[in-house]
């Protein structure tokens, strides 16, 4: 049960952003590269200094210790980094079901990160993030480097997670179909976030 509300959030030179995402709701964001999508997600995850207010279930960001905030508001960057050699060193309680959904087995935990492909790393990073059971998901193009079949599996996993956990999801994507499946689609235009109306 998570509701994320963003009020006059301002990062560097971007215009203030107002946004509301309800529990179990998924909204998508799009816009040309460099328009501030990533900066917006990073600010919501409290990784960069910013002005304005972000609230989770009406509790302000600053009233929640930063590590706890980031576990509850999970951010998946476009290219997630790995800091140890083995995949398994990054997981506490790997969920075999989720691994299966994305086409992995728990044997993958023994693999070396440096031998994985970009797409494999991206999917495993999503599994790593979901291990925290975040209430909000901030996803920066989670299917960008994936083939059709893998992309559908990732969408399926995120969709199931959203409904079961009643998580709020902000999803940056350029995929038309993903926009259509979301509750709302916002678009950055001239530094401003606009609600995209379907004709």
Partner 1 sequence: MELILLTPWDLSIAALLVLLLAGLSFHLRLGIEKRLAVAAARSALQLGLLGLVLKVIFAQSNPITIGLLTLFMLLVASYEVMNRQQRRYHGFWGMGVGVLSMFLSSFSVTLLALLVILQVDPWYAPQYLIPLLGMMLGNTMTGVALSLDSLNQNAWQQRASIEAQLMLGHDWQTAITEIRRNALRTGLIPILNAMAAAGVVSIPGMMTGQILAGSPPLEAAKYQILILFLVSASIGLGSVTAIWVGSKHLFDERQRLRLDRLTRPKH
Site of interaction with partner 1 (CB under 8 A) = 45-49, 62, 66-68, 70-71, 74-75, 77, 79-83, 128-129, 132
Alpha-carbon distance values, 23 to 4, 135, 137 (Å): 8, 9, 11
Which is closer to partner 1, CB of 112 or CB of 194?
A: 112
SS3 62: helix
Which is closer to partner 1, CB of 141 or CB of 185?
A: 141
Show the CA angle centred on residue 41, arms to residues 38 and 43, nearest 5°.
110
CB of 104 to partner 1, least distance (A): 19
Residue 155: DSSP 8-state: H
CB of 17 to partner 1, least distance (A): 19
105 by Cβ neighbours in 10 Å (0-12 / 13-18 / 19+) ranks as: exposed
Which is closer to partner 1, CB of 48 or CB of 175?
A: 48
Which is closer to partner 1, CB of 34 or CB of 65?
A: 65
Which is closer to partner 1, CB of 43 or CB of 154?
A: 43
Separation of alpha carbons 118 and 173, rounded Å:
17
CB of 111 to partner 1, least distance (A): 18
CB of 88 to partner 1, least distance (A): 15
CB of 84 to partner 1, least distance (A): 9
| DSSP letters for 82-93 | --SSBGGGG-SS
Nearest CA-CA partner of 132 in 175, 161, 104, 170: 161
């Amino acid at each position: 049960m998570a509701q994320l509300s963003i009020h006059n959030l301002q990062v560097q030179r971007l215009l203030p952003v107002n946004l509301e995402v309800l529990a179990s709701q998924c909204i998508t964001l799009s816009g040309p590269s460099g328009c501030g999508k990533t900066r917006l997600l990073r600010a919501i995850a409290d990784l960069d200094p910013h002005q304005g207010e972000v609230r989770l279930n009406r509790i302000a960001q600053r009233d929640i210790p930063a590590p706890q905030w980031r576990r509850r508001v999970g951010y998946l960057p476009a290219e997630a980094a790995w800091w140890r050699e083995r995949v398994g060193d990054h997981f506490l309680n790997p969920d075999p079901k989720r691994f299966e959904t994305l086409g992995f087995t728990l044997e993958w935990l023994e693999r070396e990160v440096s031998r994985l492909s970009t797409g494999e790393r991206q999917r495993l990073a999503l599994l790593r993030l979901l291990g925290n059971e975040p209430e909000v998901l901030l996803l920066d193009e989670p299917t960008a480097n994936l083939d059709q079949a893998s992309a559908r599996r990732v969408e399926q996993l995120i969709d199931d997670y959203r409904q079961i956990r009643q998580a709020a999801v902000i999803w940056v994507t350029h995929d038309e179909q993903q926009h259509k499946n979301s509750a709302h689609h916002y678009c950055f235009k001239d530094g401003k976030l606009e609600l995209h109306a379907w004709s």
